[in-house]
Amino acid sequence: MIQFFFEDIDKIEIEANLSNSLENIILSEGKKPGEINYIFCDDEYLLQVNREYLKHDYYTDVITFDYVKGKTISGDIFVSLPRIFDNAQTLSKDFESEFFRVLAHGLLHLCGYKDKTEEEIAEMRSKEDYYLNKR
């Protein structure tokens, strides 16, 4: 089950089929959906999460906490809405596309994809593009 929460930020409208699109990513990766929580917040909130839990002192657009058991995908995915908006402008993309890319990115981490090396980053980006185009 995919749920959406808002912490210290105004709510945005979530399109009706978003959960289905995200669950399709999980199923396409040969996994099963478990409990997945997206927590939408602002930059400062996510910076605090990054500092407190990961000991990183920088802004980011997404942080994923993995509670995966076997093939059942579960986790908490924190997402900075202002960071997505800024990234969309910087990359000349629309907000909706960048929003879905970041949500997919968090899920792909739960499915086992990493993004530490150049090769991993390229694979992650390829998967993001694939699911963005499949929508």
- The tokens for 96 are 């909706």
* Among candidate residues 29, 21, 24, 51, the one with its CA nearest the CA of residue 110: 29
Question: Where is average pLDDT lowest: 18-22, 50-54, 118-122, 131-135?
Answer: 131-135
110 phi/psi in degrees, rounded to 5 = -65, -25
| pLDDT at residue 135, as a whole number | 80
8 is in an annotated binding site: no
The band of 76, judged by pLDDT with boundaries at 50, 70 and 90, is: very high
**How confident is the model over 6-30, as a mean pLDDT?**
95
The band of 5, judged by pLDDT with boundaries at 50, 70 and 90, is: very high
β 62-66/2-6 pair status: unpaired
Domain 2-134 in CATH: superfamily? Metalloproteases ("zincins"), catalytic domain (3.40.390.30)
Domains of the chain, by residue range, sit at 2-134
The band of 110, judged by pLDDT with boundaries at 50, 70 and 90, is: very high
**How confident is the model over 89-105, as a mean pLDDT?**
96
Question: Percent of the chain scored above 90 by pLDDT?
Answer: 98
* Among candidate residues 70, 51, 67, the one with its CA nearest the CA of residue 59: 51
Give the chain's count of helices (H) and strands (E). Answer: 5, 4
Residue 2 and residue 43 in contact, taking contact as beta carbons nearer than 8 Å: no
- The tokens for 21 are 């699109």
**How confident is the model over 112-124, as a mean pLDDT?**
96
109 is in an annotated binding site: yes
42 is in an annotated binding site: no
**How confident is the model over 55-82, as a mean pLDDT?**
96
**How confident is the model over 3-10, as a mean pLDDT?**
96
Q: How far apart are CA 62 and CA 101, in angstroms?
A: 11
For the stretch 19-64, pLDDT in tens is: 999 999 999 999 999 999 999 999 999 999 999 999 999 999 999 9
